[in-house]
Amino acid sequence: MSVSGTWYLTLAAALFSIGAIGLLIRRNILIMFMCIELMLNAVNLSFVTFSRTLNDIGGQSSVFFVLVVAAAEVVVGLGIIVMIFRRSATTNADDLHMLKG
């Protein structure tokens, strides 16, 4: 007898909320990026939980693809962060207002 899926889903919801709050209150771009990773992991956890409760392999396949997309996203995002830092020497998201006019 394993723990019911509801507990896993609750934990995933809490993890997603913590990631969302962190994304909103932190202004360091790198830490905001890590908070996005937290939210992605929360979604992965709920995918695996649904895969178990519905006895369906599709949830685990989805997690596989989310992992690949997350890796690609991190590569491109960190490249953009490095480029921003080279141009304006800051990692604070509030300082990046070049488009504001």
* Residues binding other proteins: number (CB under 8 A): 77
Least distance in Å: CB of 10 to other proteins? 7
Tell me how far CA of residue 65 lies from CA of 11, 15, 42, 73, 84, in angstroms. Answer: 22, 20, 15, 12, 28
| String of contacts with other proteins for each residue 7-46, x by CB under 8 A | xxxxx-xxxxxxxxxx-xxxxx-xx-xxx-xx--x--xx-
| String of contacts with other proteins for each residue 77-96, x by CB under 8 A | -xxxxxx-xxxxx-xx-x--
Q: Are 54 and 46 in contact (CB under 8 A)?
A: no
Tell me how far CA of residue 72 lies from CA of 46, 62, 65, 66, 79, in angstroms. Answer: 21, 16, 11, 10, 11
Q: Which two tokens stand for residue 27?
A: 């202004």
| String of contacts with other proteins for each residue 44-63, x by CB under 8 A | xx--xxxxxxxxxxxxxx-x
What residues from 61 to 80 belong to the interface with other proteins (CB under 8 A)?
Answer: 61, 63-65, 67-76, 78-80
